[in-house]
């Protein structure tokens, strides 16, 4: 392999006025710079081991003399340039190019290239596919839109949550929990898990517990994403993540009856992912959380066979409330139920914080 700097020829032609090259991939843009016409291409949506790829290419005489170079594209940031795309480009011929990105790879080839060469290169790429790495404990993916308007995943770490189920939740959830864990780990299962209840009752805290208790891939969809589930680019994106657990938090609007909802097409996508043909193929588990009354939810969501389980969070029993207060060293005995948020953020009557509260971790539930 011969390393060289990136220096595409400066063609002045009318093609740039016809094609929006800013929306084309880096591989195709480079091809057009080199050849002054748009190429044929093949896209591979999996990570490639670049070191292994270089070794395998060197074994084939037709590919061993390829010139390769690293390419990075930046946009202007507020304080400094921001990296938007990076790749390794292999140029076998001016009209036969391979681009390897962090999210996949692409072959761009011209009309004079023998398709047998393309097939050989395709097999090499497939042989260099990276093995899936098991998700780290405490890690989840958030679905976002990248600089190019395409769906992407950013990985985040959930804060460690020393969540003692027996102390933090009522016995009905403690008894149900093994069934939920088994459902999430079952590679052949799909369906909806609905977690609802008042503010501060522990829904988010329980989600943290589930993420930490399994190694299945979790995908968190922010509201601006799941309000646009009908986006035609969403289904191809999510289809690449078979077996994931999707989290839709505070999704009351999405789950409203379709005749009253502004996102009727979104709930149709949700239903298909959970129980339709898509659900059968992709084996998606979807966790929905909301605060609304379950009577305000579309009846189709609650259908048997589609809904794995529905659990309503509420205040702790009086016995568990007092037990948790004692565990937290709060000098208080109550005769009524309290939520987790009320217990962890207990204040004395004059609204000044109890001295003990400074030692109690403030958490969102």
Torsion 306-238-142-231 (CA) sign: negative
Provide the pLDDT for residue 339.
Answer: 92
Provide the pLDDT for residue 18.
Answer: 35
Give the model's confidence band at 26: pLDDT under 50 very low, under 70 low, under 90 confident, else very high: confident
Provide the pLDDT for residue 261.
Answer: 61
Mean pLDDT of the chain: 79
The mean pLDDT of 328-334, rounded to a whole number, is 87
The mean pLDDT of 103-110, rounded to a whole number, is 89
Does the pLDDT value for residue 362 go beyond 80? Answer: no
Percent of the chain with pLDDT strictly greater than 90: 33
Provide the pLDDT for residue 349.
Answer: 52
Provide the pLDDT for residue 319.
Answer: 95
- Return the SS3 of 167: helix
CA distance 243 to 299: 25
CA distance 120 to 225: 39
The 10s digit of each residue's pLDDT in 186-226 is 989 999 999 999 999 999 999 999 998 888 899 999 988 87
Give the predicted TM-score (pTM) of the model.
Answer: 0.62
The 10s digit of each residue's pLDDT in 242-289 is 889 999 998 888 888 877 666 666 777 788 788 778 778 888 899 999
Site of tokens 């006025």: 17
Does the pLDDT value for residue 360 go beyond 50? Answer: no
Provide the pLDDT for residue 9.
Answer: 44
Provide the pLDDT for residue 194.
Answer: 94
| HSE-up (13 A, CA, CB side) for residue 266 | 20
Does the pLDDT value for residue 15 go beyond 80? Answer: no
Provide the pLDDT for residue 121.
Answer: 94
The mean pLDDT of 56-71, rounded to a whole number, is 79
Give the model's confidence band at 293: pLDDT under 50 very low, under 70 low, under 90 confident, else very high: confident
Three state DSSP letters for 276-326: CHHHHHHCCEEEEEECCCHHHCCHHHHCECCEEEEEEECCECHHHHHHHHH
CA distance 230 to 51: 39
Residues sharing a CB contact under 8 Å with residue 354, sequence separation 6 or more, in sequence order: 330, 346, 347, 348
Contact 195, 206 (CB under 8 A): yes
Please give the order of strands across the beta sheet that includes 245-248.
151-157, 139-145, 218-220, 245-248, 285-290, 191-197, 307-313
Domain 139-313 superfamily per CATH: P-loop containing nucleotide triphosphate hydrolases (3.40.50.300)
Does the pLDDT value for residue 22 go beyond 90? Answer: no
The mean pLDDT of 139-144, rounded to a whole number, is 89
Give the model's confidence band at 77: pLDDT under 50 very low, under 70 low, under 90 confident, else very high: very low
Question: Which residues are 72's β-sheet partners?
Answer: 86
Provide the pLDDT for residue 72.
Answer: 56
Residues sharing a CB contact under 8 Å with residue 288, sequence separation 6 or more, in sequence order: 192, 193, 194, 195, 196, 248, 251, 254, 255, 301
Does the pLDDT value for residue 155 go beyond 80? Answer: yes
CA distance 120 to 92: 13
Q: Which pair of tokens denotes residue 171?
A: 């016995």
Give the model's confidence band at 80: pLDDT under 50 very low, under 70 low, under 90 confident, else very high: very low
Provide the pLDDT for residue 247.
Answer: 94
Give the model's confidence band at 86: pLDDT under 50 very low, under 70 low, under 90 confident, else very high: low
Q: What is the DSSP letter of 197?
A: E
Provide the pLDDT for residue 160.
Answer: 72
Conformational region of residue 266, where left means phi above 0, alpha means psi within -120 to 50, and beta covers everything else = alpha
- Residue 142 dihedral angles phi and psi, to the nearest 5°: -110, 125
Does the pLDDT value for residue 111 go beyond 70? Answer: yes
- Residue 277 dihedral angles phi and psi, to the nearest 5°: -65, -35
């Amino acid at each position: 392999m011969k390393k060289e700097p990136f220096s595409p020829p400066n063609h002045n032609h009318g093609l740039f006025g016809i094609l929006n090259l800013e929306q084309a991939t880096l591989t195709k843009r480079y091809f057009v710079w080199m050849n002054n016409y748009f190429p044929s291409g093949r896209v591979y949506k999996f990570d490639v081991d670049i070191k292994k790829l270089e070794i395998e290419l060197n074994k084939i005489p037709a590919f061993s003399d390829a010139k390769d170079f690293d390419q990075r594209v930046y946009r202007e940031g507020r304080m400094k340039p921001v990296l938007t795309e990076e790749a390794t480009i292999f140029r076998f011929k001016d009209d036969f190019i391979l681009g390897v990105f962090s999210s996949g790879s692409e072959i761009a080839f011209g009309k004079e290239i023998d398709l047998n060469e393309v097939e050989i290169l395709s097999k090499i790429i497939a042989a260099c596919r990276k093995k899936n790495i098991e998700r780290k404990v405490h890690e989840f993916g958030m679905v976002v839109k990248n600089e190019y308007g395409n769906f992407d995943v950013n990985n985040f770490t959930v804060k460690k949550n020393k969540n003692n189920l027996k102390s933090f939740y009522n016995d009905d959830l403690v008894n149900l929990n093994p069934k939920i864990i088994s459902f999430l780990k079952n590679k052949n299962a799909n369906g909806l898990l609905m977690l609802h209840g008042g503010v501060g009752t522990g829904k988010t805290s329980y989600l943290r517990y589930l993420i930490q208790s399994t190694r299945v891939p979790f995908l968190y969809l922010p509201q601006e994403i799941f309000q646009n589930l009908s986006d035609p680019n969403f289904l191809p994106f999510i289809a690449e993540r078979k077996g994931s657990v999707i989290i839709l938090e505070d999704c009351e609007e999405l789950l409203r009856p379709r005749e009253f909802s502004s996102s009727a097409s979104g709930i149709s996508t949700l239903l298909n992912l959970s129980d339709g043909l898509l659900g059968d193929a992709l084996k998606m588990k979807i966790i929905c959380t909301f605060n609304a009354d379950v009577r305000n939810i579309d009846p189709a969501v609650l259908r048997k066979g589609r809904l794995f389980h529905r659990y309503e969070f509420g205040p702790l029993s009086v016995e568990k409330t007092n037990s948790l207060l004692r565990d937290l060293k709060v000098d208080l005995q109550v005769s009524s139920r309290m939520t987790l948020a009320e217990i962890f953020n207990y204040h004395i009557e004059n609204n000044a914080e109890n001295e003990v509260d400074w030692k109690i971790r403030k958490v969102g539930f």
